Structure 1
Amino acid sequence: MAESISEPMQRSAVRTPDGTRPVQGSVTAHGTLAVYEPGSGKLVGEVRVSTAAQVRDAAAASRAAQKVWAARSFKEREQALSRFQQLVLDRADELADLIVRENGKTRNEALFMEVLPVADLTHYFSRKAERLLRDERLPLHMFPHKKSYLRFYPRGVIGIISPWNYPFSIPAGDTVMALMAGNGVVLKPSEFTPLIAERMRAFLEEAGVPRGLVQIVHGKGDVGAELVKSGVNMVVFTGSVATGRKVNVAAAEQMIPCVLELGGKDPAIVLPDADLDTAALKVAWGAFANSGQTCASVERVYVHESIAPQLTDKLVKLAEGLRQGEPNSYDVDVGAMTTQMQVDIVKRHLEDARAKGAKVLAGGEVKVYPDGGRFVQPTVLTGVTHEMAIMRDETFGPMLPIMTFRTEEEAVRLANDSPYGLSAYVFTRDKRKADLIANQLLAGTVMHNDTLYTHAAPETPWGGVKASGLGRVHGKHGLRDLCEVRHVNLERFNFPAFWFYPYSAKAYRLGRRVYGTLIGTSLQARIKALLGK
């Protein structure tokens, strides 16, 4: 189990041997990961990096605790997780404060996009898991003398590799679902945001989840690689497409399943009859919330040419009116960028767009301060094309490029012209048209007149198509994926079947008569088979 040395530190900063501050997410000379506030550069805390042996030990310890946990009833699991849910609600400010300091999102976003969704997801699955995982009857149309059902068993230990953009809501949601299904968990949080994971584990143990059942290991990608081969029974990974491919291969080598929640380049289509005030507000929030560092962010807008000037004007005014700054304040709308790496990607996409003729109508400034603060202004662009990286590659920053279309067919074609397929958004007053277009879009989730929020709806499965991932988290399907599905076939009464030994011509003919009579495709064919013709 990783040693946490997270907040009780006296020194003001960690330094490398040459006296400089280590790069965020890098391993210090002390063998730790040091975390600095993205908005101010102040030291938040450190965690000890796990060795390969410690990762294996963590998986073994979780497995030992899981055997006891799996034997508990759903009611007993619910009781512990309900206490965790109440702790999250009671100490929401404490959690939100740490998320703000570690991740850089605003205080409202920490509460509404991380803390409260975890409380609600826990409320939902702690009460619904037993029903969602109850035995499923399988009527057998050809073999009525048999009784079949499916039973959902815990897989054992779930390895979770989580990202830095939602360092509480993503791993906490996956962990709660794994626990309600009867599993143990070994979590490797991002090297950029490890501290909130330790707080989550402390809350779970305070709530009565057995100590050792939820393990946390810390480090960079090599620690994640060790986790996949540590003996866990399944991996749930959220992160980039490039790393997701590696996880997929590594899991296959271990013969274990994996769920991959990867990147997005999510489009919003705004039709001529849309409520433009509503569309502008929700598109802007979908693009700029969490400084655009959301896999389901609105990263492309396709607006009908007849309303493009009006919608663009509204989006520009919204972007210019957003208050950006150090996110510890309540009156800040847009916080900091979590990592310098992401700032560099956003800057590269913006420069490429400008060089190829795009116009920046709002924002466009990138500010990195000597103390470590990192900010990218909410930016609105027009004159963009699919030849630009900002319309093709995942930006993961507060950029909102706008293109026009003439026909709905063109809008659908442009929206689908991407290797990604996580979410998509359609704005129109016509519900029938929204449904028609939604079913032409290649995306794991399509929303009508809204953006982003379905990740916070625990009933809905979350995942993508194409390069956006494999499998689903959340919902009934995500919960069942955390289980082994086993089939049991029981005998109602003995039936003298014709397929047993000894084989004979008589049995051969009987088999043909029986199947022809039962599943012939016409009445004439069935009668013919019954008569042996």
Structure 2
Amino acid sequence: MKTPAVKKADAQKGRTMIEVFNPANGKRIGEVPSFSMDESLAALRETREAQAKWARIPIAQRLEIIKTFGEILHERADEVARLLSAENGKPLYEAYIHEVLPVIHLTAYFVKRAEKILAPKPIPIWVFKNRKSYIHYKPRGVTLIISPWNYPFTIPAGAVIMNLIAGNGVLLKPASLTPLIAYKMREIFDAAGLDPKLFQIISGPGRMAEELIEKGPPYINFVNFTGSTEIGKVVASLCGRHLIPCSMELGGKDPAIVCEDADIALAARSIVNGAFGNSGQICASVERVYVHKNVFDIFVKEVVKLTRELIQDDPAVNVRTDIGSMTSREQLEIVQRQVEDAVRKGAHVHTGGKLSDKGGMFFEPTVLTHVTDDMEVLQEETFGPVLPIMSVEDDREAIRKANEGIYGLSAYVFTKDTGKGRRIAEQIEAGTVMLNETLITHAFPETPWQGFKESGTGRAHSDDGLRDLCLPCHVNYDTMPIPRLLWKKFWVWHPYDSKKIRRFHSLYGLIFIKSSLGRKLSLLKNMLF
């Protein structure tokens, strides 16, 4: 099978092109231009000029274009989902449910709510009542979005939509494995009436984004990166060098905890979905499960049963496909290496554990037990269809195990006792903890998508996520001018003297320090005389 993306010279167009292949069957499905650095910088400058005009447009007018985008996307959902499935290898169902429909949801949510979210926010002043303050939100400028291949539509589309609403321009660098869907998104924005210079796509090798951050200032005002922790650290370091604010959505090794009182049928079905959705190529995939020892055997049995029922096939030929191909050859090799290491060290394979007979990019959904902490499958992010299940003595051990490691993106707790589940959730070091479900909050635009530790910084989605894409500007103004008679003796200006120090010290003592009536009278005297 051909590599999913290779470059070739296009003599007719006089430029290098990137060929794109369907990972499930190896067929060529398209090509996109590979931008030079000069072309990328020119696009960046164009976007900056267009953004200056966009920022002056009232938010209600911006939202009309975003609304139209959502309407057109709904009309063309099947076209978009089929391209997604072909380019990424995921089932058509997941292309709809995980990617296209959540973008329609996010669009509608912010079209309805954005004006209120970005309205000026008053700040109550506690003591100095002669003044008032508020925060108002201004566009940052141009955001560079560096998007991944595992969710090549929903992740960048959400970021593009929110940035445009905030008044920013957008330069999108899609993953080289899956650039076609980015151009399809741009096509829909064009149809919605967006200025084509305001949102531009620069396809090319991954290193191009890093070089652009180095050469792009002052035109780049924010960077949104989704990808591996290793590359994210490089990108964040480059941003830090130029004081460019950024958000980093990085790797995960997300745990699930199955308590003794859990609904085993529900937990098993949700965890199978959370482990094998998108062939496990999700930063928030369930990559380790800690199960109370008293329900361990029955849970494993149910998980293995459900996993064996999954239909693995090429989504292009079987619409009932539950698990498609992997997208990246490099990632497939990591999965193979981790499983081989686990088996060599004593792990038991209940199902899967090898390449599928469907083709070279298909790895069978795999369930492992007898997994120990020295195995690579627990030490490293897998990003593939592998589910290690471990037995624990009690909830305390499960919490301790869940908090081990460098990642803190998402976690999942299964119990029938909501109060207990929330108490456990609040002890887990993760940006999001869900009770009795996996993955789905990424489809809730109201909720933040965020990671702790080496899973990233900043957040996507949510009201605060939209505000993060703006400059929060503080304005303080007077409501009651200080009388001229008080300027010298009772206000902060010059001239300075010891009496003014005593007056302010006494004032703060009266307001902030609890004391006896006699002490307060003394402070009042010092303040007035």
Q: Is the CA contact 1:77–1:126 (under 8 Å) kept in the aligned structure 2?
A: no
Partner of 2:500: 507
Q: Which runs of 5+ in 1 are unaligned?
A: 1-20
Using structure 2 for the length normalisation, give the TM-score.
0.94
- Higher mean displacement: 506-515 or 443-452: 506-515
Give yes or no for the alignment of 1:33 onto 2:31: no
Equivalent position to 1:70, from 55, 59, 66: 55
Choose which of 489, 498, 514 in structure 1 pairs with 2:491: 498
1:210 partnered with 2:163? no
Evaluate the alpha carbon distance shift between residue 527 and residue 431 of structure 1 in structure 2; reply closer, same or farther with a 3 A threshold. Answer: farther
Within the candidate set 412, 437, 448, 1:461 is matched to 448
Once residues 169 and 501 of structure 1 are traced to their aligned partners in structure 2, the CA distance between those partners, rounded to angstroms, is: 58
Amino acid in structure 2 at the alignment position of 1:41: G
* Pair 1:466–1:313, CA change in 2 (3 A): same
Asked if structure 1 preserves the Cα contact closer than 8 Å seen for 2:4 and 2:22, the reply is no
Rounded to whole Å, the distance in 2 between the matches of 1:431 and 1:462 is 22
Q: Which residue of the partner structure matches residue 287 of structure 1?
A: 275
Aligned to 1:248: 236
Q: Which residue of 1 aligns with 2:122?
A: 137
Tell me if structure 2 keeps the 8 A contact 1:519–1:526: no
Query: Which residue of 1 is the match for residue 428 of structure 2?
Result: 441
1:365 to 329, 332, 354: 354
Q: Give every structure 1 segment of 4 or more consecutive aligned residues whose post-TM-superposition deviation is greater than 6 Å.
A: none
CA contact (8 A) 1:185 1:214 kept: yes
Q: 1:22 deviation in Å?
A: 6.4
**Given the alignment of the two structures, is residue 320 of structure 1 paired with residue 308 of structure 2, yes or no?**
yes
CA distance in 1, matches of 2:377, 2:464: 33
Task: Indicate which of 342, 345, 348 corresponds to 1:353.
Answer: 342
Q: Which amino acid aligns with 2:4?
A: Q
Cross-structure match for 1:265: 253
More deviation, 299-308/320-329: 320-329
Give the aligned partner of residue 326 of structure 2.
337
1:499 to 1:335, Cα distance in 2 relative to 1, 3 A: same
Aligned-partner Cα distance in 2 for 1:173–1:247: 20
Cα gap change, 1:396/1:526 in structure 2, threshold over 3 Å: closer, same or farther?
farther
2:475 to 467, 476, 488: 488
**CA deviations over 1:409-440 (Å, ceiling 9, x no partner):** 10000000111000000000000000100000
Native 8 Å contact 2:3 2:21 kept in 1? no
Alpha-carbon offset, residue 103 of structure 1: 0.4
Q: How does 1:220-259 map to 2 (within 5 A)?
A: 220-229=205-214, 230=216, 231-259=219-247
Assess, with a 3 A threshold, how the Cα gap between structure 1 residues 203 and 362 changes in structure 2: closer, same or farther. Answer: same
Maintained 8 Å contact 2:143/2:163: yes
Equivalence for 1:23: 3
Contact 2:5 2:21 in 1 (8 A): no
Picking from 156, 170, 194, the partner of 1:171 is 156
1:192 is aligned to 2:181: no
Partner of 1:277: 265
The residue that corresponds to 2:147 in the other structure is: 162
List gaps (5 residues or longer) in structure 2: 11-15
Structure 1 letter corresponding to 2:226: T
Q: Is the 1:267–1:298 contact (alpha carbons within 8 Å) kept by the matching residues of 2?
A: yes
Amino acid at match of 1:504: D
Are residues 1:90 and 2:75 paired?
A: yes
For residues 286 and 419 of structure 1, the distance between their equivalents in structure 2, rounded to whole angstroms, comes to 20
Deviation readout 1:115-170 (Å, 9 max, x if unpaired): 00001101111221111111010111121111100001000111100000000000
1:267 partner SS = strand
Alpha-carbon deviations, 1:240-293, whole Å to 9, x = none?
001100111111122110000000000000001111110000000000000000
Could you say what secondary structure the match of 1:288 adopts?
Answer: helix
* Inter-partner Cα distance in structure 2 for 1:304 and 1:318: 20
SS of residue paired to 2:408: coil
Q: CA RMSD in A?
A: 1.4
Look up the match of 2:13: none
Paired amino acid for 1:141: W
Distance 1:528 1:306 in 2: 69
Distance 1:528 1:26 in 2: 82
Indicate the residue corresponding to 2:97 in structure 1.
112
Tell me, in whole angstroms, the C-alpha distance in 2 between the residues paired with 1:72 and 1:205: 18
Verify: 1:516 aligned to 2:509, yes or no: yes
State the SS of the aligned residue for 2:449.
coil
- Aligned partners of 1:424 and 1:445 also within 8 Å: yes
Q: Secondary structure at the match of 1:27?
A: strand
Give the conservation status (yes or no) of the 8 Å contact 1:516–1:530: no
Count of residues in correspondence between the two structures: 511
Using the size of structure 1 for normalisation, the TM-score is: 0.94
1:374-421 deviation line (CA, Å, top 9, x unaligned): 101111000001111111210000101000111111000000011100
Question: Which secondary structure state, in structure 2, belongs to the residue aligned with residue 225 of structure 1?
Answer: helix
Q: Find the aligned partners of 1:263 and 1:527 in 2 and give their Cα distance.
A: 61
